[in-house]
Chain A
Amino acid sequence: METELKKIGGGFSVSRVWTMAAATVTQLVRMRILVFLVVLSAIVVAAGFMFPVFSAEQQLKMLKYVSFGALQFFSLVLAIVATALLLPKDIEDRTLYTILSKPVPRVEYLLGKFFGVMLLIGGGLLLMDVLLCAVLHLRQSLVLAQELAFLKQGHATAEELAVEAARIEAQGVGWSLQIGVLAVFLKAGVVTALALMISCFASSTLFTVITTFCVCIIGQGQELIREFFFHRTFDAAGEKIASGLFAVLVPDLRLFDVIDQVVAGDEVAGGAALFMTGAGLLYMAGYLVVAHLLFVEKEL
């Protein structure tokens, strides 16, 4: 890699990576991916006014369930499909040859693509997060006022009113909600790095999409495989090798499933959030290094 950098006459350039990332965002926006974002945002808004017959607490929870479902769907689909499309599209349009004929190291091209997808996912998540917070706040104020008025009519005591108010307020906008969004972003980051790594040796877009999707599904059950590998006595050597390989090759995507706790209205511990962030960054770094090794001498 060092030789390659010397050959092109320059070290690593953050500004070149940024330029590549910005170009990737433009490229993806032109693919009309934002229409997808608009549809999912509409679902978030609609979820705010659905389920009026449920209890106040459940109405807010359902809003969060549906919204986080939309956030996860948006980020994962974008992470897999957009990343899988990038390299083949650049080869097809011959943009890749134009870029690499300039003094741009392949590592910068790869990082530019990765950060471009992450920027788009991050931007989309941010927009949907703002929308979710606004709808949740509005809905919470409405149901709180309605519930307290109803309880006052029934001559509820001050203690009962306070308990109900606290229960509804726990379902509102808070920091734990933001940690939930961060978890979705980190998971999307890991999947993007993984898809990029797979696309570096894949023969087609479809192969990248299907393989990454399968790895994501296995990644959700990686903990089970890991437990099986570490704690089970094996009858056959094949079992141990297979479970070991799965545990080694696949990331544990369940580490980012903190949404269940967030939706339940539980406080999320800052220390545990740091562990989650650390794990996410480690996965991304690991898969990007392998992606670079695959891409650096890929025959184009």
Chain B
Amino acid sequence: MRSRRVQALVVLLLFGVVKLPIEQVVSAKMKEARMLQGSLDLGLWENLGQMGFAASLGGLRALVAGVTYMQAYVAFEDIEWAKVDSLFQLTSRLQPNDVSYWDEAAWHMAYNAASNYLHSDRVEPIMRGKLYHSHIERGIRILEDGLRYNPDNVRLLSRLGDIYSKRKLDPVKAGETYEKVSTFEGLERYGRFAAYEYLKTTDRELWKRSYELLMASYKRDGKKFPSVIDGIKELEKRLGIPFMQWIPEKGSGRGVVAPVQPMDLPATR
């Protein structure tokens, strides 16, 4: 009886020693395939409380993130922006690879919180603009953090471009971000968005880039977007494009059709 117990203990220890390198390999392979997240940040203990932390350690991390997300939603309904921010921070740290949390947190800060402060009667007029801008900046920082965990994520990049374009009013950064998104397969349309942003700047080099992007879209897209044609027409003037290279006017199926270089447009329209 005793010998069997000793045998069992020896087998258990041997099995344990054999499994260690296997566990290392399997864990690394699964992380490589993005099936496993990194270990839980022990610093979350204070924020999650004992129950939440234990549940997260117990394999219910996604469920705990769901609960903190719900708490954030309640805080949003109560218009408690600081709480929304901290709870979303907690949620996204629990599930850093779930981009929807980074996206939504940034949207809350850069759109909802910023606009709310700008029009709030409860805030001194002198502070409104400051809070508006600081929350837009917060939204940008959230997305940058999210991109550190999820490099080159299209959803986060396009949201960042939107915030630079519509909230921060920084067409250079918005254009650069949209251009980065346009390099992904099937998202060439973002090149058009980048071009619209570059068009807003006063930099001649960026106008040239805008012209290139719009012409690429004009040649590529079956449907000729009015905004693309307007943009190209505007840039033809700004950049002094030779008349021979102009594209036809919007909706000019008839009338004066400018001669088109073979390199730019199809021979017939």
Q: Once the chains bind, are A261 and B34 in contact (CB under 8 Å)?
A: yes
Interface centre among B33, B69, B70 (most CB of A within 10 A): B33
Q: A259-B62, A299-B1 are in contact. Are A272 and B16 (CB under 8 A)?
A: no
Q: Does A109 contact B (CB under 8 A)?
A: no
CA distance A223 to B59 in the complex (A): 13
Give the residue name and chain of the A residue nearest to B25 (CB). Answer: A275
CA distance A263 to B59 in the complex (A): 13
With a cutoff of 8 Å between Cβ atoms, the chain B residues found around residue A42 in the complex are: none
With a cutoff of 8 Å between Cβ atoms, the chain B residues found around residue A187 in the complex are: 59
Q: Once the chains bind, are A69 and B60 in contact (CB under 8 Å)?
A: yes
Q: Once the chains bind, are B16 and A248 in contact (CB under 8 Å)?
A: yes
Which residues between 47 and 85 of chain A lie within 8 Å of chain B, taking CB atoms? 51, 53-55, 57-58, 61-62, 65-66, 68-69, 72
CA distance A275 to B54 in the complex (A): 27
Q: Does B66 contact A (CB under 8 A)?
A: yes
Q: Does A173 contact B (CB under 8 A)?
A: no
Which residues between 33 and 70 of chain B lie within 8 Å of chain A, taking CB atoms? 33-37, 39, 54, 57-63, 65-66, 69-70
Q: Does A131 contact B (CB under 8 A)?
A: no
Q: Does A39 contact B (CB under 8 A)?
A: no
CA distance A156 to B24 in the complex (A): 48
Give the residue name and chain of the A residue nearest to B97 (CB). Answer: A264
Which residues between 175 and 208 of chain A lie within 8 Å of chain B, taking CB atoms? 187, 201
CA distance A51 to B16 in the complex (A): 44
Q: Does A276 contact B (CB under 8 A)?
A: yes
With a cutoff of 8 Å between Cβ atoms, the chain A residues found around residue B4 in the complex are: 293-294, 296-297
CA distance A224 to B22 in the complex (A): 15
With a cutoff of 8 Å between Cβ atoms, the chain B residues found around residue A273 in the complex are: 35
Q: Once the chains bind, are A217 and B35 in contact (CB under 8 Å)?
A: no
Q: Once the chains bind, are B16 and A249 in contact (CB under 8 Å)?
A: yes
Interface of chain A, main secondary structure: helix
CA distance A68 to B62 in the complex (A): 9
Q: Does B137 contact A (CB under 8 A)?
A: no
CA distance A55 to B70 in the complex (A): 12
Instruction: Give the contact stretch, choosing among A8-16, A21-29, A93-101, A279-287.
Output: A279-287
CA distance A258 to B97 in the complex (A): 12
Q: Once the chains bind, are B8 and A58 in contact (CB under 8 Å)?
A: no
Q: Once the chains bind, are A255 and B33 in contact (CB under 8 Å)?
A: no
Q: Does B267 contact A (CB under 8 A)?
A: no
Give the residue name and chain of the B residue nearest to A227 (CB). Answer: B39
Minimum distance in angstroms from B18 CB to a CB of chain A: 8
Give the residue name and chain of the B residue nearest to A252 (CB). Answer: B23
Minimum distance in angstroms from B28 CB to a CB of chain A: 10
Q: Once the chains bind, are A72 and B95 in contact (CB under 8 Å)?
A: no
Minimum distance in angstroms from B90 CB to a CB of chain A: 15
Q: A248-B13, A282-B19, A299-B1 are in contact. Are A51 and B70 (CB under 8 A)?
A: yes
Instruction: Please give the number of chain A residues whose Cβ is less than 8 angstroms from any Cβ of chain B in the complex.
Output: 63
CA distance A226 to B19 in the complex (A): 11
Q: Once the chains bind, are A293 and B60 in contact (CB under 8 Å)?
A: no
Which residues between 199 and 247 of chain B lie within 8 Å of chain A, taking CB atoms? none
Q: Does A239 contact B (CB under 8 A)?
A: no
Q: A269-B33, A290-B8 are in contact. Are A264 and B63 (CB under 8 A)?
A: no
Instruction: Please give the number of chain B residues whose Cβ is less than 8 angstroms from any Cβ of chain A in the complex.
Output: 48
Q: A247-B20, A266-B34 are in contact. Are A261 and B97 (CB under 8 A)?
A: yes
Contact code string B153-189 (vs A, CB < 8 Å = 1, else 0): 0000000000000000000000000000000000001
With beta carbons under 8 angstroms apart, the residue of A221, A256, A297 that contacts B1 is: A297
Minimum distance in angstroms from A18 CB to a CB of chain B: 26
Give the residue name and chain of the B residue nearest to A266 (CB). Answer: B34
Minimum distance in angstroms from B14 CB to a CB of chain A: 9
Q: Once the chains bind, are B62 and A293 in contact (CB under 8 Å)?
A: no
CA distance A248 to B8 in the complex (A): 14
Q: Once the chains bind, are A72 and B59 in contact (CB under 8 Å)?
A: yes
Q: A217-B54, A279-B22 are in contact. Are A54 and B95 (CB under 8 A)?
A: no
Give the residue name and chain of the A residue nearest to B24 (CB). Answer: A226
Q: Once the chains bind, are A58 and B69 in contact (CB under 8 Å)?
A: yes
Q: Once the chains bind, are A276 and B20 in contact (CB under 8 Å)?
A: no
CA distance A279 to B20 in the complex (A): 11
Q: Does B73 contact A (CB under 8 A)?
A: yes
Q: Once the chains bind, are A276 and B26 in contact (CB under 8 Å)?
A: yes
Q: Once the chains bind, are A255 and B36 in contact (CB under 8 Å)?
A: yes
Q: Does A235 contact B (CB under 8 A)?
A: no
Q: Does B100 contact A (CB under 8 A)?
A: yes
Q: Does A86 contact B (CB under 8 A)?
A: no
Q: A249-B16, A275-B26 are in contact. Are A254 and B59 (CB under 8 A)?
A: yes
In the complex, 7 of the A-B residue pairs with CB atoms within 8 angstroms, ordered by the A residue number, are A57-B100, A221-B39, A248-B17, A254-B36, A272-B29, A282-B19, A294-B4
* B residues lining the A interface (CB < 8 Å): 1, 4-5, 7-8, 11-13, 15-17, 19-20, 22-27, 29-30, 32-37, 39, 54, 57-63, 65-66, 69-70, 73, 95, 97-100, 104, 189
5 more A-B residue pairs beyond the given contacts A252-B23, A264-B98, A294-B4, with a C-beta to C-beta distance below 8 A: A57-B100, A248-B16, A255-B27, A260-B97, A282-B19
**10 tightest A-B contacts by CB?**
A248-B16, A272-B33, A65-B66, A293-B8, A69-B63, A269-B33, A264-B98, A286-B15, A297-B4, A272-B35
